């Protein structure tokens, strides 16, 4: 009797494809943004902080779909580089509000064209119609996994 896994190919598994696309995305991001010494998660955090000055850590983690227990390390590294600062909330001293520094805003301004190039390169093999379909399908999967009934992961 044959086992279901005897002829299982990684290339038939959607999770394997997702991991490979992630690898490609990170590699292209690193090539384009490398000089600025930002990781994809640091970029997402910095962009969100610049777009929402005064955001708290928990809200930031949810906004970029990052684990709330490890976002602190990302913030620590950006703060150590002088790209942002944390200050206690006036209404709740336990809450730290994060704001970008002028240097952080400048780094983001430099990073945006690099990030856009990496995204263009990632989707280059696809037609315009396929790009829209790829984004639609991935957003559908993400929504199903992070919808209100599932909570944020």
Neighbour-count burial of 119, counting CB atoms closer than 10 A to its CB (0-12 exposed, 13-18 middle, 19+ buried): middle
- Calpha distance 41→70 (Å, rounded): 11
Q: How far is CA 62 from the centre of its chain?
A: 11
Q: Which pLDDT does position 8 carry in this prediction?
A: 81
Task: Note down pLDDT in tens along the chain; length 153 residues.
Answer: 556 666 788 888 899 999 999 999 999 999 999 999 999 999 999 999 999 999 999 999 999 999 988 899 999 999 999 999 999 888 888 889 999 999 999 999 999 999 999 999 999 999 999 999 999 999 999 999 766 544 444
Q: Which pLDDT does position 11 carry in this prediction?
A: 82
C-alpha radius of gyration, the chain, whole number: 19
Query: Is the distance from CB of 98 to CB of 50 less than 8 angstroms?
Result: no
User: Quick one: which of 61, 25, 50, 60 has its CA closest to 110?
Assistant: 50
Model-wide pTM > 0.75: yes
């Amino acid at each position: 009797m044959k086992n279901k896994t005897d002829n299982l190919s990684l290339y038939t598994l959607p999770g394997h494809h997702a991991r490979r696309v992630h690898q490609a995305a990170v590699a292209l991001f690193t090539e384009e943004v490398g000089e600025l010494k930002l990781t994809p998660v640091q970029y997402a955090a910095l962009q969100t902080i610049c777009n929402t000055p005064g955001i708290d850590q928990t809200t930031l983690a949810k906004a970029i779909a990052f684990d709330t227990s490890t976002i602190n390390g990302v913030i620590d590294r950006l703060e150590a580089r002088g790209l942002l600062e944390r200050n206690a909330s006036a209404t709740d001293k336990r809450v730290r509000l994060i704001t970008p520094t002028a240097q952080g805003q400048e780094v983001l301004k430099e990073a945006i064209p690099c990030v856009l190039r990496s995204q263009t390169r990632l989707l280059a093999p696809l037609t315009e119609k396929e790009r829209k379909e790829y984004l639609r399908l991935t957003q559908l999967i993400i929504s199903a996994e992070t919808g209100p009934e599932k909570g944020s992961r």
